[in-house]
Structure 1
Amino acid sequence: MELSNKSSKVKIVASGIIPFAFLVIMIAYIFGPGADLLDLGIPLPEITMERVDFVESEIQITVRNTGPIPVEVAMADVNDRIQPAAVEPDRYLNRYETALVRIPFEWNEAEPYIVGITIEDGTRFEKEIEAAAPALEPTIELAAFFAIIGTYVGIIPVMIGLLWLPFIKKISKQKYHFFLALTAGLLLFLGIDSIEEAVEVSQENLAGSFNGMLLIATVITFSFLGLYYTGEKLVQRASSSKLAKPVAIALMISIGIGLHNFGEGLAIGAAVGLGSIAFSTFLIVGFALHNTTEGIAIAAPMSRGKLMIGKLAAMGMIAGAPAIFGAWIGGFVYSPFTSVVFLSVGAGAIFQVIITVLKWIREEGDKNLSSASVASGFAVGMLVMYLTSILV
């Protein structure tokens, strides 16, 4: 009996390994003896200029070989004029390898420039800079500036939004459903906004070989599924207590909003680093109005439990503080790839939270999610976010 069990297990393992072994053999053949047979075209080189920094009397370009073949950087130019350039660590780049091209150049702030890189076969790649701005140096003063901006556009607006909690606690059940649906509408807008920003970064700064749209879809899916599993476990543990469950749902909303605000902070920091944004009072007010509604999203589920000031403040920090960390990373060590990933993670997290909120509404009594209060709340949430986004 034991022998037959062992034999069946061996057959199961073998049936799983055999297809994989054939796949490995096929790939080995393609890259080995079959390479000449399948080589029907000429691979084209591709260079991506991921970052252009303007430092004192120098332009520094971070380049990456995103093509299928190794390349050699031959020369660099600024505004179609060839310039002497040093390449660190060397001029030879294997696939996905990066190098720093340093061009001695007396540039002028706020002027437009076109920088170009030519490789050994004569192919030239260029990138247009609308307005030159000094590269950001990590200093305490600049870190404090980003912290202040992150506080103004992240923490303070969310905390202000939480002040609606006493009002929401006193309203009727139907109006409470309106505010829960309003929360779902707010979150849906944030999720779409995150995807739009990720697509924009992907199209403008991410190499085509990274398959930006597929990367966004993959990360959103992984983020959604991972947080959905985590959120379900958290809510199930809290289901035994009517007081704990609203807190668990509010916590998931805070995490989703926090991930979105981290991506928003990345965008702010990168924009400051590229010199393409100037923070005015009007702009800060626009961000504040837009993000205040996020506090309502946290306050709505918390309003049906015991008022816990400490937990409410902690959730406000979870939702708002990531804007500061995002601004630091975006300003000092910006990377288009990580920006796309974090924005996509934020979108996936928000979509998961929307599902949690809709489930909560159903458990509260609106089984079909078809009442006027739910439909109007969802629509108003989207509308409010759109109107406040115009000011940003």
Structure 2
Amino acid sequence: MELDNNKSKVKVVVSGIIPFFFIILMMAYIFGPGAGLLDFGVALPEITIEKVDFIESEIQATIRNTGPIPVEIAMADVNDRIQPSAIEPDRFLERYETALVRIPFEWNEAEPYAIGITVEDGTRFEKQIEAAAPALEPTLDLAIFFAIIGTYVGIIPVMIGLLWLPFIKKINKSKYHFFLALTVGLLLFLGIDSIEEAIEVSKENLADVFNGILLVATVTALSFLGLYYAGEKLLKKSESSRLTKPVAIALMISIGIGLHNFGEGLAIGAAVGIGSIAFSTFLIVGFALHNTTEGIAIAAPMSRERKVIGKLAIMGMIAGSPAIFGAWVGGFVYSPFSSVVFLSIGAGAIFQVIIIILNMIRVECNNNLSSAAVVSGISVGMVVMYLTGILI
């Protein structure tokens, strides 16, 4: 009997491997003896200028070969004028390989520049810089500056929003349902906002080869599924531990908001990094007002708990402090790809929390999600976030 079971398991394994074997054979043929099948048309080069830094008496451009074929960098130019340049490590780039192009140039702060890179077949690729600004160098003073900005944008507004807790504690059940639904509206807006920001970054700064929209969709979905699984485990654990369900939900909200605020910190740090002082100030003021409402989202589920001051303070730090780390990353080592990924992870986390809260509301409202309190709460939450978001 045991022998028959072993044979059955072997058959199952073999039946699962056979399709993969034929796929490998097919790929080996296409990229081997059958390579001629792929020779239709002409493969064109593609260079992406990912980043431009203005150093003292020098312009440095980080480039990547995002085309299907290897390329050789022929020359660089500034404002259509060919300039001497050094390419590190060398001028030959395989697919996805990066290089640093160093152009000796006496640039002027706040002036616009067009940086061009030409490959060996004469194809030129360009990146427009609206206003030149000195590249940020990591220093203790600048790190402290970004920490202060992150605190002002992330931690303080969330903590202010948590001050709504005493008010929410004293309201009746119907109004409590309204504030739970308000939380859903706030988070729904944040999730959509994260996706919009991620798509905008991918369109403006990410190479087409990475297919920004599909990258956003994929990372958002994977983040949602992974965090939903982890969230369900956390809720089950709360049933057999000192961690109550409302606290577990508030913790998940804090994590989701924290991931979103990391993306906001990235935007501020990047704006300061490229010298866009007016825009960065605009972001700081807008995000500070915008994020005050996030504290309500954390406070609402906790309003029926006792002795929550310490827990709320911890959750406020979880939700707000990532803005500091985001500002550091955005200002010192900004990467469009990582920005898109983190914004998408934040969106997935927020949508996961929305599902958890809706389940909580459904239980609270006896399976009635269409009550006036719920519908109006979600609607008001969206409107409040839109109105505060106008300043961003």
The verdict on how the C-alpha distance between 1:282 and 1:124 changes in structure 2, with shifts beyond 3 A counting, is closer
State the match for 1:104 in structure 2: 104
State the match for 1:78 in structure 2: 78
Report how far residue 366 of structure 1 moved. 4.3
Report how far residue 42 of structure 1 moved. 1.2
State the match for 1:178 in structure 2: 178
1:100 alignment partner, SS class: strand
Deviations 1:84-130 (A, max 9, x none): 00000000110100000000001111111100000011110001001
| In structure 1, distance between residues paired with 2:364 and 2:221 | 28
Gapped regions of structure 1 (runs ≥ 5): none
State the match for 1:303 in structure 2: 303
1:121-136 counterparts in 2 under 5 A?
121-136=121-136
Deviations 1:47-68 (A, max 9, x none): 0000000110000000000011
- TM-score with structure 2 length normalisation? 0.97
| In structure 2, distance between residues paired with 1:281 and 1:10 | 65
Report how far residue 276 of structure 1 moved. 2.2
State the match for 2:383 in structure 1: 383
Of all paired residues, the percent bearing the same amino acid is: 81
- TM-score with structure 1 length normalisation? 0.97
Report how far residue 81 of structure 1 moved. 0.2
State the match for 2:36 in structure 1: 36
Deviations 1:313-354 (A, max 9, x none): 000000000000000001100111000000000000000011
1:214 alignment partner, SS class: helix
State the match for 1:16 in structure 2: 16
State the match for 1:193 in structure 2: 193
| 1:203 and 2:173 aligned | no
State the match for 2:324 in structure 1: 324
Which amino acid is 2:179 matched to? F
1:316 alignment partner, SS class: helix
CA-atom RMSD in angstroms: 1.4
Deviations 1:201-231 (A, max 9, x none): 1001111111111110000011000110111
Report how far residue 386 of structure 1 moved. 0.6
1:243 and 1:306 in contact (8 A); partners too: no
1:129-168 counterparts in 2 under 5 A?
129-168=129-168
Which amino acid is 1:196 matched to? E
Report how far residue 239 of structure 1 moved. 3.1
| In structure 2, distance between residues paired with 1:257 and 1:32 | 49
Q: Which moved more, 1:317-326 or 1:6-15?
A: 6-15
State the match for 2:65 in structure 1: 65
| 1:220 and 2:220 aligned | yes
Deviations 1:246-281 (A, max 9, x none): 100000000000000001111111111112243787
1:195 and 1:343 in contact (8 A); partners too: yes
2:278 alignment partner, SS class: coil
| In structure 1, distance between residues paired with 2:282 and 2:76 | 40
| In structure 1, distance between residues paired with 2:284 and 2:89 | 41
The verdict on how the C-alpha distance between 1:278 and 1:5 changes in structure 2, with shifts beyond 3 A counting, is same
State the match for 1:257 in structure 2: 257
Deviations 1:33-82 (A, max 9, x none): 00023311111110000000011000000000001110011100000000
| 1:287 and 2:287 aligned | yes
Which amino acid is 2:72 matched to? E
Q: Which moved more, 1:44-53 or 1:8-17?
A: 8-17
The verdict on how the C-alpha distance between 1:280 and 1:133 changes in structure 2, with shifts beyond 3 A counting, is closer
2:271 and 2:279 in contact (8 A); partners too: no
| 1:244 and 2:259 aligned | no
1:51 and 1:62 in contact (8 A); partners too: yes
State the match for 2:51 in structure 1: 51
2:194 and 2:347 in contact (8 A); partners too: yes
State the match for 2:340 in structure 1: 340
Which amino acid is 2:385 matched to? M
The verdict on how the C-alpha distance between 1:366 and 1:282 changes in structure 2, with shifts beyond 3 A counting, is farther
Gapped regions of structure 2 (runs ≥ 5): none
| In structure 2, distance between residues paired with 1:75 and 1:239 | 65
Return structure 1 stretches of 4+ with deviation > 4 angstroms: 240-243, 279-283
| In structure 2, distance between residues paired with 1:141 and 1:295 | 29
| In structure 1, distance between residues paired with 2:121 and 2:318 | 52
Which amino acid is 1:91 matched to? R
Report how far residue 287 of structure 1 moved. 2.1
State the match for 2:27 in structure 1: 27
| In structure 1, distance between residues paired with 2:280 and 2:100 | 34
Deviations 1:179-201 (A, max 9, x none): 00000000011001100110011
